[in-house]
Every structure is written in structure tokens, then in C-alpha cells.
């Protein structure tokens, strides 16, 4: 269940004993992969034993996720900081730069067919996609450049400013796409920044909500989160 969407990062015991911290442009290592896949399988076996057949039988019946989450593919951003029990609760869509447009089909499936009530779009501090999009990425692979082309931010700006702008842009696109559902009160579109670098000075590891249905005024956003006012799209 979603227990901590708007609270600081929950402590998580990650079973990663020997992970190589490769530089941004270094190649991988098959020996690291072999070691890690064994670790993954061992962790998954423990997970299966912990939950048991009844848990998986319930999952097999179908899914009714309360939230569709669009977030960056960055390995530092994971569901354990949102939800201690994400199974069946979070429909996750990931891509570089947490973009709505490049994953529109997946998002629409979560909202239109799985009936998620919340669309949560999460950017994060120290984002590599934002860094690339704010500079010259003409030498990158064409497929990567194509995805960066749809991130509309100023060139040469501070990373966190680009992150905020991008989140607001994605919320705007989503609110426009789901305008009828937002207006009817069937969907809440929330934009947030997972700030593990504490650039926004609200605490390292906090998820800072910056946008609700297109509303970006901090006071109004907090009022909407607290249940005050009607959460319809901002004009």
C-alpha cells in the first residue's frame, strides 16, 4: 500500500554485497554480471519463500493499481521510497527523463484500463538525462538523442531547475491528455522531485511535491494535498 508518497525516504535493506561503482562512461563487466545475477536469484528465492503461495495466488487474479507512476530509469530511483508493498499498487513506467510523451501508451493503459486514481510523475536531483538535454548531446546514439529531443528545458541551466521545469512540462502534457478525467475528479496528476542531493533544501531523500493538476503555487499545492479545495486542473 502507498504509505509514504509524501514523506522522507524510508530505510531499505538492499542486499547488494559487491557492486562495482562504474564511472559514467565505463564499460560493464561480465564477471560482475554473473555475480549479480546469482545474487538476484537468491534474493528472489527468499522473496518467494517469505510471501508464500497465497500471496502470489492473489496477484494472479489481476491488478488494480491505485497509482500509475512515471519516473526516470535512474538506478537510484525505486519504489522502496514510495511504497513498502508496491505489488498490485503501483503501475510503474520508466524512461530517461521521466517523460509522459515517450511512454504515452503505457501511461494511458494504467489510467484508462487499470483505472489508477493517481498519476505520479517523479523527477530527481542530479538527473543525467536533464544534464544531457541541457547541453550538446549531438554525439550520442541516435535513439538516445531522439528521447532527449522531447525534453524541453533551457540550455546551460542548473540541473535542479531543469528537473523542475521538466516535471512541470510532463504534468502539463498529462493533464491535457486526461483533461476529462481530471475535470471529473477521477484522476489526480501530481508532479514531484525526489531530491536525494537536497538541492531544494527540504531534506536529503525527500519527495517534494511541486505540482498538482498543473497548480504550482506552493501554498495551493499543500492545500490540495491536505484535502483543501477541489483538485481540478489549474487554468
What is the H or E stretch that residue 206 is in? strand 206-212
Closest to 123 measured CA to CA, from 201, 178, 190, 177 = 190
Contact 19, 28 (CB under 8 A): no
At 179, is the secondary structure helix, strand, or coil? helix
Residue, of 25 and 51, whose pLDDT is higher? 51
Average pLDDT, the chain: 89
Domain residue spans of the chain: 63-225
Per-residue pLDDT at 174 exceeds 70: yes
Contact 95, 14 (CB under 8 A): no
For range 196-214, the mean pLDDT: 96
- As a whole number of angstroms, the distance between CA 18 and CA 33 comes to 11
Task: Domain 63-225: state its class.
Answer: alpha beta
At 158, is the secondary structure helix, strand, or coil? coil
- As a whole number of angstroms, the distance between CA 5 and CA 123 comes to 14
pLDDT band at 25, cuts 50/70/90?
A: low
pLDDT tens digits along 95-113: 999 999 999 999 999 999 9
**Angle, vertex CA 126, rays to CA 174 and CA 36, nearest 5:** 95
pLDDT band at 164, cuts 50/70/90?
A: very high
Contact 213, 182 (CB under 8 A): yes
Amino acid at each position: 500500500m502507498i504509505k509514504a508518497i509524501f514523506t522522507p525516504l524510508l530505510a531499505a535493506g538492499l542486499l547488494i554485497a559487491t557492486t562495482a561503482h562504474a564511472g559514467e562512461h565505463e564499460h560493464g563487466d561480465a564477471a560482475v554480471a554473473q555475480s549479480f545475477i546469482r545474487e538476484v536469484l537468491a534474493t528472489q528465492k527468499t522473496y518467494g519463500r517469505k510471501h508464500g503461495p497465497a500471496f502470489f495466488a492473489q496477484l494472479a487474479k489481476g491488478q488494480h493499481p491505485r497509482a500509475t507512476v512515471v519516473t526516470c530509469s535512474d538506478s537510484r530511483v525505486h519504489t522502496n521510497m514510495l511504497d513498502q508493498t508496491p505489488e498490485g499498487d503501483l503501475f510503474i513506467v520508466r524512461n530517461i527523463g521521466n517523460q509522459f510523451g515517450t511512454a504515452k501508451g503505457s501511461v494511458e493503459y494504467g489510467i484508462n484500463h487499470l483505472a489508477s486514481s493517481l498519476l505520479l510523475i517523479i523527477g530527481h536531483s542530479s538527473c543525467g538525462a536533464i544534464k544531457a538535454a541541457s547541453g550538446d548531446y549531438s554525439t550520442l546514439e541516435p535513439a538516445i538523442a531522439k528521447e532527449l529531443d522531447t525534453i524541453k528545458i533551457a540550455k546551460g541551466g542548473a540541473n535542479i531547475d531543469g528537473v523542475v521545469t521538466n516535471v512541470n512540462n510532463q504534468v502539463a502534457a498529462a493533464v491535457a491528455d486526461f483533461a476529462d478525467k481530471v475535470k471529473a475528479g477521477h484522476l489526480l496528476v501530481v508532479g514531484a522531485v525526489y531530491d536525494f542531493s537536497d538541492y531544494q533544501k527540504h531534506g536529503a531523500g525527500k519527495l517534494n511535491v511541486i505540482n498538482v493538476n498543473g497548480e504550482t503555487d506552493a501554498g495551493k499545492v499543500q492545500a490540495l494535498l491536505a484535502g483543501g479545495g477541489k483538485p481540478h486542473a489549474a487554468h
